[in-house]
Structure 1
Amino acid sequence: MAYEIPVTRARAELADLINRVVYGEERVVVTRHGKPLAALVSAADLERLAALDAEEAAEAAEPASSLGSVTALPGPPAPADPFRPGFGIAAEHHQPRRT
């Protein structure tokens, strides 16, 4: 569990908070109006967070081929005219002919 402290008190007690984080192995959450604003963590915790971030980024960057092969299902044939894709349109609008 993290120790919570309002930002106004944290300014006045920064040195003590750093000691709590480094030597007491605590995590400190600085709040404003009762909502978390920032956190003080040890350098060791920060390194662990960075390693987790790098691990997640590496997993996200893995190619899709590592998930197994995917076979495409046959779909409708490509339309001959890209401006008339043939989605079952029942009517077409034509400009009146001028004579």
Structure 2
Amino acid sequence: MAYEIPVTQARAELAELINRVVYGGERVVVTRHGKPLVALVSAADLEKLEAEPEPEEQRATSALSSVHPLMPAAPAESRRFGIAAEHQDPRRG
């Protein structure tokens, strides 16, 4: 479980938060208005996260969307990239 802290408090305690992450092995989630904004993780954790293979469902969705441009992206892909809106072709009823 990650430690959550508001962004205003995180600014004041950045050095301490870095120490908690690096030396304490914690993960820190910085929030704004109670919603997660960013996460602080150690460089070692980041390497592990980036080395994990992409889930099969996301690979298939990405491949399908790139092959057929008129096919709308799946909801998982929109969440993955943080897309808030999507284009709708006015010619399609």
State the TM-score, normalized to the length of structure 1: 0.55
Runs of 4+ in 1 over 6 A off after TM superposition: none
Cα distance between partner residues in 1 of 2:56 and 2:43: 23
Q: CA deviation at 1:58?
A: 9.0
Asked if 1:49 is matched to 2:49, the reply is yes
| Aligned residue-pair number | 59
Alignment of structure 1 residues 66-81 onto 2, 5 Å? none
Cα distance between partner residues in 2 of 1:47 and 1:58: 20
Aligned residue in 1 for 2:78:
none
Q: CA deviation at 1:57?
A: 7.6
Please say which structure displays the higher CA radius of gyration. 1
Deviations 1:13-56 (CA, angstroms, capped at 9, x unpaired): 0000000000000000000000000000001110001101xx22
Aligned residue in 2 for 1:39:
39
Distance 1:47 1:58, change over 3 A: farther
Cα distance between partner residues in 2 of 1:58 and 1:39: 25
Aligned residue in 1 for 2:9:
9
Cα distance between partner residues in 1 of 2:42 and 2:13: 17
Unaligned runs of 5+ in 1: 62-99
The amino acid of 1:45's aligned partner reads D
More helix as a share of residues: 2
State the TM-score, normalized to the length of structure 2: 0.58
The amino acid of 2:46's aligned partner reads L
Indicate the RMSD between aligned Cα atoms, in angstroms: 1.9
SS of the equivalent of 2:25 reads coil
Cα distance between partner residues in 1 of 2:5 and 2:50: 25
